[in-house]
């Protein structure tokens, strides 16, 4: 796994101060982006929260995920959560160290008491003393939240005084793009009221059972019933212990919503679990297996391989405007592009961290991750390998529906049926397209597009 050292530089440490009506939570920011461009210490919000304790525990849950490895436990190395201000709401996000769990806390307008919110994305410092203080926060006391340095600090900053250096895996970056692309295909599958939601979540196993297969749940009356096979209406719960972060917010939960795809046989799938809180939503998205991170799913490869995707993404990116809700059909109208190309452009922008996807509203949202997420595309091994095969002229078409791809000392047969490609390689035999295309089908798709473009140019002459 490729790792780089990433430094978060803060003007100071985040801290919870005061007591009673004077309690204030100051979250310090590290270099981020806003409509004005790059900022060293952006300031996005200052106002009171409607539900202080729920917000504090939701933020702790996001921080718990950032500090966790749910597979092959290793030394804790927490990445500070990312916060995006979308003008009317705040979104706190993190990924687990194993890249298998994505967490997001959406603090909605009603949770911010209608206070003015800026636009932009940055990291916020969540240190151990702050975690301890937030854990002790009680109900009833007003809480003032500030994201970014206060006005006095802004005028006296001489440079960063707090730095954190953490290893940043390339696969962690790709996870944002893959989880976004996968969840766009999810639907709401079940909804539980608060009492049943709490009872169900508390009944889940806390540890991993050795040799256990995938767990499924199916709506049964007002609750969810576990099952070992994907009966009609079932949703996969891959690694139930990975929902442990929800324990932070069960007392404030008002509902549980479950999202997922239609089951495809007995194959485990990703799913998303959303706890509704007063004025907020906390969502945990789980990869298809506890030992399988989002970074290798390959859901964005087809979009990245499209010849028009790069130019389309450049066009679409200037139309985003930090919107909290982005509709592909609206973007298609504004850009003049077909909606299919807009969706491909959004998938490509996702690999750079420029968009996320909100399941509750079935809409994309604009963010700008404050690090070089373009590495996610450059270091995608299947895409890199497919482009190398294309450059070597390894793809030879046998007819309109078949191609031979020379790779190493072997040749692989790629077939097309109903617009889908299959291959005779081991990757395809193992995954059957459920983890995206193999390098041979990807190279074939790219070669066919290039041939079609050449033919079109010749006909135009």
Q: Give the 3-state secondary structure of 69-114.
A: CCCCCCCCCCCCCEEEEECCCEEEEEECCCCCEEEEEEECHHHHCC
Beta strands in 303-401 (DSSP E): 355-358, 363-366, 395-397
What's the whole-model pTM score?
0.84
Q: Give the CATH number of domain 3-170.
A: 3.10.150
Structure-derived torsion over alpha carbons of residues 314, 316, 322, 328, reported in degrees to the nearest 10: -150
Counts of helices then strands in the chain (DSSP H, E): 13, 25
Quote the CA–CA distance of 413 and 391 in Å, as a whole number. Answer: 19
Q: How many CA atoms lie within 13 A of 164 on its CB side?
A: 24
In tens digits, what is the pLDDT along the chain, a chain of 461 residues? 445 667 888 888 999 998 877 789 999 998 888 888 888 889 999 999 999 999 999 999 999 998 888 876 555 556 789 999 999 999 999 988 888 899 999 999 999 987 889 999 999 999 999 999 999 888 777 889 999 987 544 444 444 467 787 766 666 777 887 888 889 889 999 999 999 999 999 998 876 543 456 789 999 989 999 988 888 889 999 889 999 999 999 999 999 999 999 877 678 889 999 999 999 999 999 998 888 878 666 667 777 777 677 788 889 988 998 889 999 999 999 999 999 899 888 888 887 788 999 999 999 999 987 655 455 566 678 888 998 999 999 999 988 889 999 998 899 999 998 878 999 999 888 888 777 789 999 899 889 888 876 665 555 55
Q: How many CA atoms lie within 13 A of 316 on its CB side?
A: 33
Q: What is the pLDDT of residue 408?
A: 87
Q: Are 365 and 325 a contacting pair, CB within 8 Å?
A: yes
Rg (CA), the chain: 23
Q: Residue 30 pairs with which residues in a beta bridge?
A: 10, 123
Q: In the chain, where are the structural domains located?
A: 3-170, 185-296, 301-354+363-376, 381-460
Backbone angles phi, psi at 143, to 5 degrees: -135, 125
- Which tokens go with 178? 């893959």
Q: Which overall architecture, per CATH, does domain 185-296 show? A: Roll (3.10)
- Would you give the distance in Å from CA 116 to the centre of its chain? 26
Tokens 């240190």 belong to 127
Q: What is the pLDDT of residue 156?
A: 43
- Which tokens go with 430? 């193992």
Q: Does the fold of domain 185-296 match that of domain 3-170? A: yes
């Amino acid at each position: 796994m490729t790792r780089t050292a990433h430094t978060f530089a803060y003007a100071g440490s985040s801290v919870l101060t005061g007591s009673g009506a004077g309690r204030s939570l100051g979250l310090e920011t590290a270099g981020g982006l806003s409509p004005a461009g790059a900022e060293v210490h952006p300031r996005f919000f200052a106002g009171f929260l409607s539900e202080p304790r729920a917000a504090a525990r939701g933020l702790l849950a996001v921080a718990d995920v950032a500090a966790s490895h749910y597979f092959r436990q290793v030394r804790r190395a927490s990445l500070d959560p990312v916060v995006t201000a979308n003008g009317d709401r705040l979104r706190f996000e993190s990924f687990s160290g194993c890249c298998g769990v994505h967490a997001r806390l959406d603090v909605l307008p009603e949770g911010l008491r209608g206070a003015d919110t800026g636009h932009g994305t940055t990291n916020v410092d969540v240190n151990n003393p702050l975690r301890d203080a937030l854990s002790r926060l009680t109900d009833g006391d007003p809480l003032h939240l500030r994201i970014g340095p206060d006005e006095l600090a802004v005028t006296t900053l001489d440079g960063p005084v707090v730095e954190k250096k953490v290893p940043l895996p390339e696969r962690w970056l790709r996870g944002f793009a893959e989880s976004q692309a996968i969840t766009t295909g999810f639907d709401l599958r079940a909804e539980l009221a608060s009492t049943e939601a709490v009872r169900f979540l508390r009944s889940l196993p806390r540890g991993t059972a050795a040799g256990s297969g995938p767990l499924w749940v199916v709506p049964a009356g007002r609750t969810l019933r576990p099952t070992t096979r994907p009966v009609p209406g079932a949703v996969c719960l891959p690694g139930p212990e990975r929902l442990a972060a929800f324990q932070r917010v069960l007392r404030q939960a008002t509902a549980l919503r479950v999202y997922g795809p239609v089951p495809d046989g007995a194959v485990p799938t990703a799913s998303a679990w959303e706890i509704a809180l007063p004025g907020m939503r906390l969502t945990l998205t789980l990869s298809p297996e506890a030992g399988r991170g989002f970074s290798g799913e390959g859901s964005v490869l087809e979009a990245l391989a499209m010849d028009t995707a790069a130019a389309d993404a450049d066009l679409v990116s200037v139309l985003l405007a930090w919107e909290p809700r982005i509709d592909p059909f609206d973007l298609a109208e504004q850009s003049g592009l077909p909606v299919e190309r807009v969706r491909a452009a959004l998938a490509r922008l996702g690999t750079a961290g420029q968009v996320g996807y909100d399941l509750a509203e079935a809409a994309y949202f604009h963010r700008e991750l404050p690090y070089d997420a373009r590495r996610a595309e450059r270091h995608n091994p299947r895409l890199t390998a497919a482009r190398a095969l294309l450059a070597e002229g390894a793809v030879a078409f046998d007819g309109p529906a078949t191609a031979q791809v020379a790779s190493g000392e072997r040749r692989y047969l790629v077939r097309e049926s109903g617009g889908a490609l299959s291959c005779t390689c081991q990757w395809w035999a193992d995954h059957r397209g459920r983890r995206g295309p193999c390098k041979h089908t990807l190279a074939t798709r790219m070669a066919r597009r290039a041939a079609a473009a050449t033919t079109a140019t010749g006909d135009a002459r």
